[in-house]
Amino acid sequence: MSSVRQLTSISSQAALEVVAAAQRAAEASGQRSAIAVVDAAGQLCAFARMDGAAIQAGQIAQDKAYTAAGFGMPTAQWHDLLAQDAPMAAGAPTGIARFIPFGGGLPLVVDGQVVGGVGVSGGHWTEDVKVAEAGAAALA
């Protein structure tokens, strides 16, 4: 049994590329967004808040990225999970720090491993998902 494990994580350059791709998608759709990329440990690697994006969007984007990376699943999936599980619905939103249960956060996966997360805030969550998907596609 090893007492050490290695964590594969997104590079700072790749994180910047994800933000840039997401920002291009937001601009193309006319959305003013905040875009955050965290590494596999949930630490902020890259961030942009476009001119005109709400101030609160910055924190929401970071928390979406953190939630997606930490759980290894898109934040949009939480709505259905919480709707089907009353105890989880009662505890998760207030009991898990930085937890965001609506769309706009995606895990960043390379070779089957979560290496980080991207979070977008600025539009309706369905629009945020599209911008996040454009950012995540930069890793492909």
Beta bridge partners of 3: none
pLDDT at 49: 98
> The pTM is what?
0.93
Nearest to 50 by CA among 29, 35, 71, 66: 35
pLDDT per residue rounded down to tens, the chain (140 residues): 789 888 899 999 999 999 999 999 999 999 999 999 999 999 999 999 999 999 999 999 999 999 999 999 999 999 898 889 888 888 888 888 899 999 999 999 999 999 999 999 999 999 999 999 999 999 98
CB 57 within 8 A of CB 122: yes
Q: Record the tokens describing residue 13, joined without a space.
A: 């350059």
CATH code assigned to 12-139: 3.30.450.150
For residue 82, CA distances in Å to 11, 71, 85 come to: 33, 14, 5
Domain ranges of the chain: 12-139
